[in-house]
Amino acid sequence: MAVNPNSAIEERRREIQRKRKIQKAKRRKAALKRFFVLLCVIAVLTIAILSLTVFFPVEKITVDAKDSVYTNEQIIKASGIKKGENLWMTGFSAEEDIPVKLPFISQAEVVRKFPSSIVIKTTPAKPVYNIMAGNDYYVCDSKYKVLEITKAPNASVLLISGIEMNKAKTGNTITFTDEKKHQTLENLLLLLNEKSIKVNSVNVTELVDINVRVEGKFNVLLGSSAHIEAKVAHLAGMLQKLEKDVKGSIDLSDYTPENGRGILTRE
C-alpha cells in the first residue's frame, strides 16, 4: 500500500507544532514560577524592611539597676534608646556606652521583649583601688576603670602609690607605663589575697623598697620582690601569732627562706 507524501508531511508539521506548544507551555510555566518566586522575595524583603523601620516601635523602656547611684532617667539617657525607635534597630552600642558614660556601672545589658519593650539591666561598679598620681587620686574598680577622680584618698579603698600611669578620664581604663611595676603590684596583691591579708596601701615607688600597710595597724617593709611569695607567707604566719591589740612595723627586707628573718617593732 503506497503512502501519501502529503499526508506524511502534514503529520510531521503537526508533530512539530505539538512540540512547540509543549515547549512554549514549559517556558510559560517556568516564567510564572520565577515571577511567583520574585513576588515572594519582594514580599519577604518588604516585611523585613517594615519590621526594621515601621513595625515594632519601642513603647516602654524600663531599668533593672539595683544599688545604682544613678537614676533610671540617667541610665536611659546614657543608653541612647528612645521611644518610637524600632525595637530591633536601636541600642546596639548601649551596652558599651553606658559603663563609659556612667562610670559607677560596671556592666549593662539590653534585653528586647517582643513586641515593644526594652529592659536595661545594670551591675554597679565597686571602688577597689585608689591610685595616687600627682595631686590626684583615681578611684578605680578591679579592672582599673576610673570611677572618679578626687583630691583626697578614700580611706575605705586600697591606696596604691608610686606607679606610673597614663592620664585617664572617668569611664576609661588606666594603662600603666611601667609594666614591671604593674606585674610586681599584681603579683603582690594576688599573694596577699591568697593569704587573706587585708591590705590598706601599697607603695611601689622603688621595687627594691616595697612597702605595704596591712590589717590597719602594721607597716610592712618587704624590700625587693626577691622571695616575695615566701615573704608574704612568713608575714601571714607572723600575723596569726600576734595578739589582736599589737601594732607596729614589720621588716622583711632581709628575709630569705634560709634565714627566716622577720623583725617586729611594736608601737
Could you tell me which residues are beta bridge partners of residue 221? 211, 251
In a domain, 259, yes or no: yes
Would residue 131 count as lying in a domain? Answer: no
**Nearby residues of 226 by Cβ (< 8 Å), 6 or more positions away:** none
Residues 210 and 238 in one domain: yes
pLDDT reported for residue 3: 47
Those residues with Cβ within 8 angstroms of residue 23's Cβ, 6 or more apart along the chain or in another chain: none
* Residue 225 belongs to a domain: yes
What is the pLDDT, as a whole number, of residue 18? 74
The pTM score is 0.75
Please check whether residue 187 lies inside any domain of the structure. Answer: yes
Q: Is position 150 within any domain? A: no
210 and 255 assigned to the same domain: yes
CATH number for the domain including 79? Answer: 3.10.20.310
Which helix (H) or strand (E) segment is 165 a member of? Answer: none
- Name the grid cell of 94: 548601649
Ranges under pLDDT 70 in the chain: 1-10, 13, 15, 31-32, 39-55
- The Cα 140–Cα 182 span in angstroms is 15
Q: Is residue 214 part of a domain?
A: yes
Residue 65 and residue 26 share a domain: no
Q: Which CATH number belongs to the domain containing residue 252 in this structure?
A: 3.40.50.11690
Domain count for the chain: 3
pLDDT digits (tens, 9 = 90+) for 36-82: 777 666 656 655 555 555 568 899 999 999 889 999 999 999 999 99
Secondary structure E strands in the chain: 60-64, 105-113, 117-124, 129-133, 136-140, 146-150, 158-161, 199-203, 210-214, 218-223, 248-251, 263-266
Q: Residue 196's pLDDT is what? A: 96
Residue 102 resides in a domain: yes
Residue 246: other Cβ atoms inside 10 A: 14
Do residue 14 and residue 66 come from a single domain? Answer: no
Supply the range of the domain harboring residue 98: 60-124
